Copies of this chain bind each other. A is one copy, B any other.
Amino acid sequence: MTEAEFLARYDPADYPRPALAVDLVLLGLRGGRPVVLLGPRAQHPHAGRWALPGGFVGIAEDLEAAAGRVLREKAGAAQAYLEQLFTFGALTRDPRMRIVSVAYLGLLTEAALAEALAQAPSLRAAALTLPAAPDGPAEAATERGEGLPLAFDHGEILGVALRRLRGKLDYSEVGFALLPPLFTLRQLQDVHEAILGTALNKPAFRRRMLDRGWLAPTGRHEAGTSYRPAELFRFQKTP
């Protein structure tokens, strides 16, 4: 049998297929630190551990559509910036069966984070930390610093997610997905510092962001401060 004959007869429907899922890394900021939305696992496997919201991909459902559906159904978030992160397919990642999962990174504003927690009461916002090593899994913890054990390979997924976000924060527009429509330069810097975990130089940061052409001044200023109110900016796509 030649390869052409083999291929003509080959019907992949005859072969067992891995299940295909999406998992969502929904990141927000709280108290100047990154948090991720996790749900408790009630059943085996990994009962008592904490897992990313996820779901299976329908046979007539786009990957992005599946991610959006999980965002609505499991995380109660009306909208979030979503981008594909990486696809995890290790044989042993789920002991029940072979599941390949396309992970998505989702970024939530403070309002979207609060809304998701209100709509999906079983979720909690867990503080996220990365080890010093350049790879290796991220760790989740309560606000008091008590570790939250992660289910499956979700620590690895979180590691990839936070590193990806750090890597593209400075040269891309993702940072604005964590801010409301109107924001001050200090808020923008706070977002960057929270994601990177380091302090940034104020004049340099302002120069850089203004030179990027991303910031449209509104002429309006924040209200209710007891000090000089900062100007409010709006994000605009670079032309």
Residues of A within 8 A of B (CB): 4, 7-8, 12-13, 15-20, 42-43, 56-63, 84, 86-87, 89-91, 97-98, 100, 102
Q: Please give, as numbers and ranges, the residues of chain B lying within 8 Å of A87 by CB-CB distance.
A: 63, 84, 87, 102
Q: Would you mind naming 12 contact pairs between A and B with Cβ atoms under 8 Å apart?
A: A12-B56, A13-B97, A15-B58, A16-B59, A17-B18, A18-B57, A20-B20, A60-B98, A62-B91, A63-B87, A87-B102, A89-B102
Nearest B residue to A65, CB-CB: B91
The answer, among B15, B20, B56, for a CB contact under 8 Å with A59, is B15
Q: How far is the CA of A63 from the CA of B20 in the complex (A)?
A: 13
Q: Please give, as numbers and ranges, the residues of chain B lying within 8 Å of A16 by CB-CB distance.
A: 59
The answer, among B20, B86, B90, for a CB contact under 8 Å with A17, is B20
Q: Please give, as numbers and ranges, the residues of chain B lying within 8 Å of A63 by CB-CB distance.
A: 87, 89, 100
A15 adjacent to B56 (CB under 8 Å)? yes
Known A-B contacts: A17-B17, A17-B19, A63-B87. Give 10 more (CB < 8 A): A4-B42, A7-B43, A16-B59, A17-B20, A18-B59, A20-B100, A60-B98, A62-B89, A62-B90, A87-B102
Q: How far is the CA of A26 from the CA of B49 in the complex (A)?
A: 40
Interface centre among A4, A61, A100, by most chain B C-beta atoms within 10 angstroms, is A100
Q: How far is the CB of A208 from chain B (nearest CB, A)?
A: 18
Q: How far is the CA of A87 from the CA of B64 in the complex (A)?
A: 11
Q: How far is the CB of A121 from chain B (nearest CB, A)?
A: 12
Interface centre among A42, A60, A61, A63, by most chain B C-beta atoms within 10 angstroms, is A63
Q: How far is the CA of A13 from the CA of B19 in the complex (A)?
A: 8
The answer, among B43, B59, B89, for a CB contact under 8 Å with A8, is B43
Q: When A and B form their complex, which 7 residue pairs have the shortest distance between CB atoms, in order from nearest?
A: A63-B89, A16-B59, A87-B87, A17-B17, A12-B19, A12-B56, A87-B102
Nearest B residue to A10, CB-CB: B56
Q: How far is the CB of A48 from chain B (nearest CB, A)?
A: 15
Nearest B residue to A8, CB-CB: B43
Q: Please give, as numbers and ranges, the residues of chain B lying within 8 Å of A98 by CB-CB distance.
A: 59-60
Q: How far is the CB of A82 from chain B (nearest CB, A)?
A: 14
